[in-house]
Amino acid sequence: MPSAELGLRNNEFKDNDIRALTVSGRTVPQTWENAVKKLWLGKRIARTLTEYDSSEDPYSRATTMMMIVTHPLEEPRIHRAIPDGLRGLYKYTKEVIGGVHDYKVRSGGWSYSYSDRLHNWPGIDGQEQVQKLVNGELTYLPPVNQINYIVQALAKVWYTRRAQAITWNPQRDPGIEDPPCLQRIWCEIVESGGGYLLDMNTHWRSRDALKGAFMNMYALTTLQGMMAEEISRISGKRVEVGRYVDITDNFHIYGSYMRKGEIQGFIRSLKMRSFEGRTFRSDDQIVIDSFAEEEIELQQEIETRHKFLQEDGNK
């Protein structure tokens, strides 16, 4: 709830305390813009240090942020200010919902992947730790496909409040250099207009507001749409996508973005270009072409790795 609704004034917060802010919008790009603007332009925003600051950087700006998207799949879906371009957005989404790079957790130096933790908890890295703990008494702890659990649970009992998934592995994550930011997904179905809506909440430990949050939101709302379709198929009920709520404990703008003028340039762009000029629709040809090109490259990567594993196994 916004501080104004609580009867709080800016001067009632302790000096440099991390405030809790709320923004909303119809679409993912609109809501994300509103969150970045509120963090950058807001008064009495906390200044904090991060593990990624250099001595020449000013303090980061940080808040606890709740973003409410009322129509997550409504177009335009894509913001142009994405750091890795359209192909990078597609690849990231496939990593989260399709697990195309889960193998890198074992062989490519990754600490974790969201897909592995959500579909295979406690994940490849967690399995290895468990095997060490049991000293060979068990081969491995049976993995849990938490996304499948959510889908099956809601298809069976649409009003259950137990449909959630977690990523954190307390045996592993406190000691790694880059622990998961996404902590939990919670879903519930509500009745609406003779049908049903799948609402989703996501909870994040820490978030790069400018360069990370939008891609996260795009991928998770894509997953929300896929889950609604699967629940509909299994249950026979018409389940559509409801609102998406995104909660971040530490939603921040790094000091380096201020020093380099990146956040200032982003804010200026909001005034210089229309919303249509700042976004893409999913059916824009440039989006279709970029996604198709990245899909081809990902498939080639998978085929190359499969061939390598076959050849290595035959040695």
> Which superfamily is assigned to 10-313 in CATH?
Thymidylate synthase/dCMP hydroxymethylase domain (3.30.572.10)
- 3-state SS, the chain, equals CCCCCCCCCHHHCCCCCCCEEEEEECCHHHHHHHHHHHHHHCCCCEEECCCCCCCCCCCEEEEEEEEEECCCCCCCCEECCCCCHHHHHHHHHHHHHHCCCCHHHHHCCCCCCHHHHHHCECHHHHHHHHHHHHCCCCCCCCCECHHHHHHHHHHHCCCCCCCEEECCCCCCHHHCCCCCCEEEEEEEEEEECCEEEEEEEEEEEEEECCCCHHHHHHHHHHHHHHHHHHHHHHHCCCEEEEEEEEEEEEEEECHHHHHCCHHHHHHHHHHHCCCHHHEECCCCHHHHHHHHHHHHHHHHHHHHHHHHHHHHHCC
Residue of higher predicted confidence among 288 and 43: 288
**pLDDT at residue number 304:** 82
**pLDDT at residue number 158:** 95
The tens digit of pLDDT for each residue in 140-187 reads 566 778 999 999 999 999 999 999 999 888 877 888 888 899 999 999
Residue of higher predicted confidence among 106 and 202: 202
